[in-house]
Structure 1
Amino acid sequence: MELDRKLQILADAAKYDASCASSGAARKDSRGSQGVGSTGGAGICHSYTPDGRCVSLLKVLLTNVCLYDCHYCINRRSSNVKRALFTPEEVVKLTLDFYKRNYIEGLFLSSGIVRSADYTMEMVIEVARQLREVHHFRGYIHLKTIPEASPELIEKAGQYADRISINIELPTQQSLDTLAPEKNLNRTKAAMGGIRNRIDESAVAKKDARQIKAAPRARPPAFATGQSTQMLVGADASNDAVVLGRADELYRDYRLRRVYYSGFSPIPEPSVLLPIKPPPLVREHRLYQADWLLRFYGFNVKELLPVEHPLLDLEMDPKLAWALRNRAMFPVDINRAPRELLWRIPGLGVTNVARILAARRYTRLHLADLQRMRVNMKKVLPFIIAVDHTPSIALLESDQLRFRFLPAPKQLELNFANPPASPADAAMARSGEL
C-alpha cells in the first residue's frame, strides 16, 4: 500500500482519540547541535497551549489492526474497515517531512494491538527512538501506551516522550466487561501508578541535579513530564457522577495532567450493545467545565453532583447550577470574602479573583471596577455585594432566577442536538474560566 493511502486510513482512524494535551515541558532548542524540531514547549496538534495558541501535531495510528474487540471502537477486531500498518521508518519519515514543511510541531502516536501488546509497544518506541537518537528531533512527542505491555517497555517509552497516556475508556469494570472484555481497570490503574512513580522519581532526580550543579553527562535521564487519559461518554449507562468520580480518583491517586471526555459517536456497523444515538454534545462540554472546577476551584464531586442530582444540568454551567442549589451562601461581599468563596461566585474565574484580591488591598471595589476587569456582570450581579450594589434577596430566592440564565430557545435546540460523526477533535480544550 502506498504511503499516502496508509496516512489517509490511519490519520482518520486516530481522530477518535481525544487524549492529546500540551506537554507543559520545554525541550531544549537546537542551537549548537544538529537537532531539529524544537518547539520550546509549544504543545501539540489540535489543542491549546497555556497562553491560548493553537498548535499542530501529526496524529496517527501506527496501525488500525487490533486483536481486541471493543464494541465502541471503529478498529475493533470484528469491524469491517480498511486496515493499514506503518513501519516505524515510515512514521519517522512522515513526521520529519511534515515538520520541515512547517505543518506540525510534533507527533502523537497511538496504535491498535497487533500480535501482542509488547510487540506493538516495541514498534511505537522504535519510532520515538529513531526520532530522538537518529534524527535528533527536539519536537513534542506524545506516545499512547498499552497497559498490558510490560512495565519495562512503558518505562522506555517515557524516556523518549514528553507525555505518555493510557486510555481508561470507560469508568467502571462492569462497563468494560460488557463493551471491552479484554480490558481490565485494575491493570490500567497499575500501569498509571507505575508511570506516576517514575515521573515523581525523575522530578526529584532533576531537582537534586540542579542543586548540586551536576555536569551534563551526570544528569539523570529524561522522562515524560505527565500522563493523561480518555473516557467515553454515553457509550454505557454511567452517569456524570460516576464519570467525574473516576476522573477525580485519577487526578488524586495518579496525578494525571488531564482526563479527556469524548462523546460516544456511532460507528459503521455498530454493535447491538451500543446506544443508537450519541449523547448531546453539550454533555461533554459540561463534563469539561465540571472537571475544571474540580482541578482549579476547590469543588468536589459530591458538591457538584449530590446523590439526588447524579447528572450535570445541561442547560447551564455546573458552577451556576451549584450556586442555584446553594443560594443560602449568597450574596457574597467581594470586598471581604476569602479567595475560596470568591471562586464559587458564578461568573468569576481564577484570573478575575486574583485581580479582585490584588485591587481590594488599595480600594473598595465598585461595579465599575468589575466591568473594567471584564467580569460577566449578568452572572455575578445576583450573587455579590459591592460598594454600590446589593442584590435583591427576593430575586435570589425566586424560582425565576434560573430562567434568567437559560440560553435562548435556538441555542438550547443546538445544545441538545446530536454531535457530528467524529466529535473527538472538536472536544479539545473546551474548558475555561466559569
Structure 2
Amino acid sequence: MSHPSLIERLAILADAAKYDASCASSGTSRRTSKGGKGIGSTEGMGICHAYAPDGRCISLLKILLTNHCVFDCHYCINRKSSNVRRARFTPQEVVDLTLSFYRRNYIEGLFLSSGIIKNSSHTMEQLIEVARILRQENDFRGYIHLKTIPEADPELVRQAGLYADRVSINVELPTVAGLTRLAPDKNAAVIEGAMGDLKSAIVEAKDARRRFRSAPRFAPAGQSTQMIVGADGASDAQIVGRASALYGEYRLRRVYYSAFSPIPDASAVLPLKRPPLIREHRLYQSDWLMRFYGYRPDEVQQAAGADGMLPLDVDPKLAWALKFRESFPVDVNRAPRELLLRVPGLGTRAVGAILASRRHRTLRLDDVAKLTVSLAKVRPFIVTADWRPVLLTDRDDLKALIVPRRSEQLELFAA
C-alpha cells in the first residue's frame, strides 16, 4: 500500500480533528463555479473559527498530528480498535503547512491535537516541537491552541503553555463513572491534576508578569475543556453542575459541549443514535446564564425537569422564568441590572441599553421592542410606563402564547 501524499494526509487528519468542539468550523458550502474551477472553498476540512483573547474571530488550521492511538476510548473514531485509515505528520510538516496557509492569508493560527503514539509523553513532545519550531525558528506570531495530554509528564504540559496562546485538557465525559466505562485508559484524577497544574502555572505567570515585564508569557488565553454529551447517561443537571465546578476550580475560559455522534464500527456500549443537536445548544445557553447572566448553577438546574433534562422546546432562561413567575414582572425603569438580566428575551446588550436610556427618559413598551427580537417573549415579564401585564404572568397557557409553533422554529433545532 502506497504512503499517503501530503494532501491525502491533510484530508484524513483534518477530518479526524472535526470531533473536537473546542473550535467550531463554519459548516457551510458554496456552489462550484463553471467548469469546476474557481477561487476559494469552504468545504472539506482544516479551517475552523475561534475567538482570540481580544475578542476577534480568527481562522485556524485545525488538524491532528496523527490519528494513530494506543488508547481505546469507546466513543472515539480514532481508538486503536477502530477500522479507519491512519495517517501521520512529522512536526516539520505541520509547521510547513501552517506557514504556507498563513502566508496565503487563509489562517491566523493553528489548532493542534493528536492521537496517542507510543505513549503520552512522546506525543506531547511532538506537539511541543511543532509549537517550538513555529515560535523560535520562524518567529511565528499567530495564535496557537495546543490540546495537551494529561497523562504526559507535567513538565511537558507546562512547556506547552510557554509556546501556546491557549491550552486545553478534555475531561471527556461529565461523570467519573462514564469515563471509567467508556475510556478505560483515562483517569479522572490524572486529568484534574493536570488541569490544576495548568491553572497554577497560569496564575504564577500572570503574577510574574505583573512584577517583571521580561517574565515569559504562559498560555495568555487560558485553558479550556470539552465534555461529550449523550454518550453516557449523564443528565443536563449533572453536566451543568460539573461545568460549574470546573469553572470554579480551574478558572477555565470555556467549557465546550460536543453532542455524541455515532461512529463507524461503534462499540456496543454506545447509544445507537446521537442526542438532538438542540440539547447541545441548550447546554451552551445554560453555560451563558452562569457566565454572563448571574445565575447560580442550582438555579440553572431548577430549569430542568424531574429527570434532570433541560426542556428542548424553550431556552433555559425562559424555562426558569415560567417556573418562578413570582419573580416577575420586572419594572424596566426601576429594576437593577441583575433582575433585568432575568427577563426572557433581554440579552446583556439590551439590558445595558435600558440602563443607559432610562437615565434620560422613562421607557415605554415601544422602546423595549427596539431592543429585542421577540417582544412576545419579553412582554409578560416586564412593566413599562405604558404597559403592565395584568394577570398575564399567571395564565396556564402562558408558555403556548410565547413559544412559536413547531413549524415556525428553526429546522436545525427542530431536528
Q: Do both proteins adopt the same fold according to a TM-score greater than 0.5, normalized to the shorter chain?
A: yes
Aligned residue pair count? 387
- Residue 285 of structure 1 pairs with residue 273 of structure 2: no
The 2-side partners of 1:20 and 1:6 are apart by: 20
Indicate the structure whose relative CO is greater, using CA pairs within 8 Å and at least 6 residues apart: 1
Give the aligned residue type for 1:102: N
Secondary structure of the corresponding residue to residue 78 of structure 1: coil
- Residue 156 of structure 1 pairs with residue 151 of structure 2: no
In the TM superposition, 1:222-301 aligns within 5 A as 222-225=217-220, 226-301=222-297
Give the aligned residue type for 1:316: V
Aligned match of 1:184: 187
Aligned match of 1:352: 350
The 1-side partners of 2:307 and 2:295 are apart by: 16
Secondary structure of the corresponding residue to residue 106 of structure 2: coil
Aligned match of 2:313: 315
- Residue 62 of structure 1 pairs with residue 58 of structure 2: no
Name which of structure 1's ranges 172-181 and 349-358 shifts more when overlaid on structure 2.
Answer: 349-358
Aligned match of 1:34: none
CA contact (8 A) 2:230 2:260 kept: yes
Task: Map Cα deviations across residues 20-56 of structure 1 (whole Å, 9 max, x no partner).
Answer: 38xxxxxxxxxxxxxxxxxxxxxx9323568986431
The 2-side partners of 1:186 and 1:300 are apart by: 26
Aligned match of 1:73: 76
Tell me how far 1:317 sits from its aligned partner. 0.6
Give the aligned residue type for 1:222: R
List, as ranges, runs of 4+ consecutive aligned residues in structure 1 with deviation greater than 4 Å.
Answer: 48-54, 415-418
User: For 2:404, which of 393, 407, 416 is the aligned residue?
Assistant: 407
Aligned match of 1:114: 117
- Residue 398 of structure 1 pairs with residue 401 of structure 2: no
The 1-side partners of 2:262 and 2:176 are apart by: 22
Give the aligned residue type for 1:90: E
User: For 1:364, which of 362, 365, 386 is the aligned residue?
Assistant: 362
Give the aligned residue type for 2:400: F
User: For 1:220, which of 215, 218, 231 is the aligned residue?
Assistant: 215
User: For 2:92, which of 69, 89, 93 is the aligned residue?
Assistant: 89
- Residue 145 of structure 1 pairs with residue 148 of structure 2: yes
Task: Map Cα deviations across residues 358-407 of structure 1 (whole Å, 9 max, x no partner).
Answer: 222222211222234346312111000011110122x2111111112223
Give the aligned residue type for 1:296: F
Give the aligned residue type for 2:394: E
User: For 2:334, which of 333, 336, 354 is the aligned residue?
Assistant: 336
The 2-side partners of 1:183 and 1:112 are apart by: 13
CA contact (8 A) 1:66 1:113 kept: yes
Summarize the Cα distance change of 1:6–1:78 in structure 2 as closer, same or farther, 3 Å threshold: same
Summarize the Cα distance change of 1:351–1:412 in structure 2 as closer, same or farther, 3 Å threshold: closer
User: For 1:124, which of 127, 142, 158 is the aligned residue?
Assistant: 127
Structure 1: gaps of 5 or more residues = 22-43, 419-434
Q: Percent identity?
A: 59
The 1-side partners of 2:409 and 2:370 are apart by: 30
Give the aligned residue type for 1:75: N
Secondary structure of the corresponding residue to residue 87 of structure 2: coil
The 2-side partners of 1:375 and 1:280 are apart by: 25
Secondary structure of the corresponding residue to residue 72 of structure 2: coil
The 2-side partners of 1:399 and 1:349 are apart by: 26
The 2-side partners of 1:19 and 1:369 are apart by: 38
Aligned match of 1:40: none
Structure 2: gaps of 5 or more residues = 25-46
Secondary structure of the corresponding residue to residue 226 of structure 2: strand
Aligned match of 2:31: none
Task: Map Cα deviations across residues 159-209 of structure 1 (whole Å, 9 max, x no partner).
Answer: 000000011110111001111011111111111111111111111121223
Tell me how far 1:413 sits from its aligned partner. 8.8
Task: Map Cα deviations across residues 69-96 of structure 1 (whole Å, 9 max, x no partner).
Answer: 0000000010000111110000000000
Tell me how far 1:283 sits from its aligned partner. 0.3
Tell me how far 1:411 sits from its aligned partner. 4.9
CA contact (8 A) 1:315 1:412 kept: no
Aligned match of 1:198: 201
Tell me how far 1:324 sits from its aligned partner. 0.2
The 2-side partners of 1:105 and 1:57 are apart by: 6
Aligned match of 1:327: 325
Summarize the Cα distance change of 1:276–1:187 in structure 2 as closer, same or farther, 3 Å threshold: same
The 2-side partners of 1:365 and 1:208 are apart by: 48
Name which of structure 1's ranges 369-378 and 291-300 shifts more when overlaid on structure 2.
Answer: 369-378
Summarize the Cα distance change of 1:309–1:328 in structure 2 as closer, same or farther, 3 Å threshold: farther
Aligned match of 1:37: none
Give the aligned residue type for 1:285: H
Task: Map Cα deviations across residues 231-266 of structure 1 (whole Å, 9 max, x no partner).
Answer: 111111000011111110111110100001000001
The 1-side partners of 2:142 and 2:284 are apart by: 28
CA contact (8 A) 2:345 2:372 kept: no
